[in-house]
Amino acid sequence: MQRLLIRGLFCFVLAMPFASASGPFLRPSEGPVPFRRDRLPLDVDTMTGLSRHMLLIAKTLGLESAAARHAAAQSLALAIALDPANREARELLIGFSQDRPSPVPDATEIESAKARIWQIISWLENSEAGVDGQALGLCLSDTMASADPSHPKSEAHRGKGDSGEWTGWVPALASYEEKAIAKVPDEPMPEKPVAPTEVPEAGIARSAAMVSTPLWTYDKDSEKLVIKPMVISMKAWIESEEKGQHGFGVRLENTEGGEFLHQTGNGVVEALKGFGDQFPKGGVVSMTIGKGEDYLVSKNRQTLSAATAVLVDSAVSNREPKATVMGIVQPDGSLKMPTRAWDKLRALSSGPGGRLVLPREAEALLPSVLAIEDPAFFMKYEVVLADNLKELLEYSAKAGSGELADASVKFAEIRDKMGSNAVTQYVANRYVRQRLGEIAQACPDHLSARMLFIQGGGERPSRLPKQILASEIRRALEPMTALPADWNDNLDANLIDATHEKCRALLDPLERYVDIRDRDFYSHAKDLLTTVRTLGRVKRTARDSFDNGNTNRKATEEAFGIVRTSYAKLRVELAEAANDDEPKEPQKDGRIDRFPGGPRPPK
């Protein structure tokens, strides 16, 4: 039960009370939401702004009274319904449920938000707003009656109760009242003799297992480094002391950089000890990437951490894994996302599917999978979130148990019945969506059910956050690796034109996902491709340098220098926006810092 209390849902969370010093705070449920986001007479920017305003309102209400707690829950429910990507609203919801009030925002900002909300309410009261718009207006009026009681419309609302339809979505006001709890006198429990606990001798319980994770690897077909889902296989045995194995060791075959991996393996073993695993002396776990590929330590770093934990645990606990996992195990057993997390998620689209276990940090990324119109990802993969190492091990096991096992069975039934139907049409069916909502309510960690529930209700986000947009732009510019790093007379105009066309083909479709606030940012990538196109034209018109074409040759070299400089600057800008492990500074000589896997410049 305590584990459920600390989890946030992407859209909404279970209506479960949390007994706080201020009184019970019941969190909103999955729905039903009385309006459809896609039917509101508001554009995306207005809905996003209104969501932020409702977040501010929630921060002003506090948790001191039942009415305030009720209005705060309504405000946050509306904030998330209007903008499912509003991560701050979800975090505040978790904070309130743990009796952690938020600092009150600036008074000027609050008054501006209130004025804008009342302005929108006035518009939604008109018949032109439609049924869904009017339903939203009533819900907004209910919340504002508590948040802004001196407003004339609040005075008319006072004493009449809620006008909007909150049933099944946000609990009624009475649920937020403090209830006296009769104290039962403590009675001494009779002492029972405690039998000594026998600790079984540690050993190797499973000699082989496998799990998948996305890694950087060398692709022989394209002759580049790419991110691909890779199978990690494990073999385990007891090695005699004569062979020099005194403790428990984790090895990675066919890979250099052993010291770094040794530290990673030891860290995982120490974290597993904290969860009760025992390790035999002389025990060895040997892992192999794919068919014996190099792990590429400099690129993958600690990305193998979660897979290592699952496989090492399998060796000593006999728990058989069957999943794709991502994450980095921390010393305290918590989980973090690996570097280039969004790119790794995107790479999984070409993977085998099945169970996908992610750290809770991934929750902020997953709505963007819907934004780029790939809801099928959540049918191909059964995506679940893990808070810590213990849950990672449980959720990646082939033999599941508890709420997730029940949810998996029901989700498999939904998936099996889809047949050849398109995912978007299938999940929009009200019966299918109802079942998805039930799964998400029963198992909040089941992200596939949650995301498909949102998709079916027409509530998917339509814009990408700047961080993810930066990653997508970087992916779109990957064909730039075909160009050499340094100028040379043999630079092929056809290669330049082909590079321009490939980049445009990948970049142009992103424009419909660009938020109005990020249009200048997106235009920098378009400007870069303009310089590439110009370089191609200059190169085509240039005469051979041996035919007195020094002037045109110089123009071509200058055009190439502009491309190189623009590319280097944009790479830095993209890396900063994506907030990942890309280099933050261009090289001192101005050379293009190439995409991973780019060809070496000719000598």
DSSP secondary structure letters along 355-406: EEEEEGGGGGTTHHHHHTT-TTHHHHEEEEEESBHHHHHHHTBSS--HHHHH
pLDDT at 549: 53
pLDDT of residue 395 exceeding 90: yes
Between 46-50, 54-58, 184-188, 430-434, the lowest mean confidence (pLDDT) is in 184-188
Closest Cα partner for 141 from 129, 125, 159? 125
Contact residues for 437 (Cβ-Cβ < 8 A; gap 6+): 30, 31, 449, 453
Contact status, residue 84 vs residue 38, Cβ threshold 8 Å: no
C-alpha span between 69 and 81 (Å, rounded): 18
Amino acid at the residue 363:
E
Phi-psi region of 27 (alpha: psi -120 to 50; beta: other; left: phi over 0): beta
Confidence tier at 48 by pLDDT (50, 70, 90): confident
Query: How confident is the model at residue 553, as a pLDDT?
Result: 78
Decide: helix, strand or coil at residue 161.
coil
**Does 307 score more than 90 pLDDT?**
yes
Q: What span, in angstroms and rounded, lies between the C-alpha atoms of 181 and 66?
A: 17
User: Averaged over 399-419, what is the pLDDT?
Assistant: 89
pLDDT in tens, 355-373: 999 999 999 999 999 999 9
Q: Each residue of 86-131: pLDDT tens digit?
A: 778 877 887 887 777 778 888 888 999 999 999 999 989 888 888 9
pLDDT at position 585: 42
Q: Which segment of 200-214, 256-270, 283-297, 472-486 scores lowest on mean pLDDT?
A: 256-270
Is residue 352 within 8 A of residue 442, CB to CB? The reply is no
| Contacts with 195 (C-beta within 8 Å, 6 or more apart), sequence order | none
Report yes or no: 74 and 55 within 8 Å, Cβ to Cβ.
no
Percent helix, strand, coil in the chain (nearest 5)? 50, 10, 40
Chain segment 196-209, per-residue pLDDT in tens: 443 344 578 999 99
Question: Taking 90 as the threshold, does the pLDDT of residue 305 lie above it?
Answer: yes
Over residues 137-148, mean pLDDT: 91
* Of the ranges 143-157, 288-302, 469-483, the best mean pLDDT one: 469-483
Angle at Cα 529 formed by Cα 525 and Cα 530, nearest 5°?
115
Percentage of residues of the chain with pLDDT beyond 90:
45
**Any idea which of 82-96, 337-351, 480-494 has the lowest mean pLDDT?**
82-96
Share of the chain above pLDDT 70, in %: 84
Structure tokens at 322: 């069957």
C-alpha distances in Å from residue 99, one per residue of 5, 69, 107? 12, 11, 23
pLDDT score, position 194: 46
Q: What's the chain's average pLDDT?
A: 83
Contact 515, 502 (CB under 8 A): no
